[in-house]
Amino acid sequence: MAKPNVVSKADLLASAKRCIAEDGIGKLTLKAVAEGAGVTQGTVFYHFRTKDQLLFEIVKDLCESSWNDLNNRTVSLECREGIGQALQSARSRCQYRSFYHQLFYSLVVAGFQQADIRKQLGTLLRMENDRLSQLLDGAGQRTEELPSGTAAILINALIDGLALQALLNEDFPVDDAYDAVERLCNLWFDASE
């Protein structure tokens, strides 16, 4: 029997994540999410008008949770160590068949046709760039040649590009690639000191 329509958006996102973990992205439907949460399909539709909107909300939730967790861990760290923690977090998600990146890149494709998804993804990327820029600025390091905002965009682009390559190549050398990204970040810090 379905529960009354007093389920939270977070409960529906948890149901969707369970559905994906159990059956994969391809079998995720609003109906499956409703069944997993014990509510009607209309309740899910009320919160997420489309499957793509649901996928976006999952990606946004995972992204924000990751950044909040990172901020909690790096509050007392030096800026360089905070960036190291951010790279370690990104490295842990960079793997063949990564759940998060499969969702993210599915949405990127959807965003080519759907302006609302494209706009929401753009906002999410700007938030990530801003958070990374704040980490770079955390200890006051700045360089005129490469401002922290631009450095954040480049680092984020590297991370997303590495994730795409890891999704497509089971033998992708994740550790070597991330070691190189960390060396690039250290060069930025060295130049700004």
Per-residue pLDDT reduced to its tens digit, 13-48: 999 999 988 988 888 899 999 999 999 999 999 999
Which two tokens mark 40? Answer: 């009607």
Q: What distance in Å separates the CA atoms of residue 68 and residue 86, rounded to the nearest whole number? A: 11
- pLDDT averaged over every residue in the chain: 86
Q: What distance in Å separates the CA atoms of residue 193 and residue 181, rounded to the nearest whole number? A: 19
* pLDDT per residue as tens digits for the range 122-158: 999 999 999 888 887 764 555 567 788 888 899 999 9
Residue bearing the bigger pLDDT, 61 or 85: 61
The 10 Å Cβ neighbour count of residue 28 is 20
Q: What distance in Å separates the CA atoms of residue 165 and residue 120, rounded to the nearest whole number? A: 24
Classify residue 12 by burial, with Cβ atoms within 10 Å: 0-12, 13-18, 19+: buried
* pLDDT per residue as tens digits for the range 148-186: 888 889 999 999 999 999 999 999 999 999 999 988 887
Q: What is the pLDDT of residue 57?
A: 94
Q: What distance in Å separates the CA atoms of residue 148 and residue 120, rounded to the nearest whole number? A: 23
DSSP secondary structure letters along 131-163: HHHHHHHTT----SSS-HHHHHHHHHHHHHHHH
Q: What distance in Å separates the CA atoms of residue 110 and residue 123, rounded to the nearest whole number? A: 15
Q: What is the pLDDT of residue 2?
A: 47
Which two tokens mark 169? Answer: 């190549």
Q: What is the pLDDT of residue 39?
A: 93
Q: What distance in Å separates the CA atoms of residue 97 and residue 145, rounded to the nearest whole number? A: 37
Stretch 102-118: mean pLDDT, rounded?
94
Cβ(103)–Cβ(55) under 8 Å? yes
What domains can be seen in the chain, in order of their start residue?
1-49 (1.10.10), 53-192 (1.10.357.10)
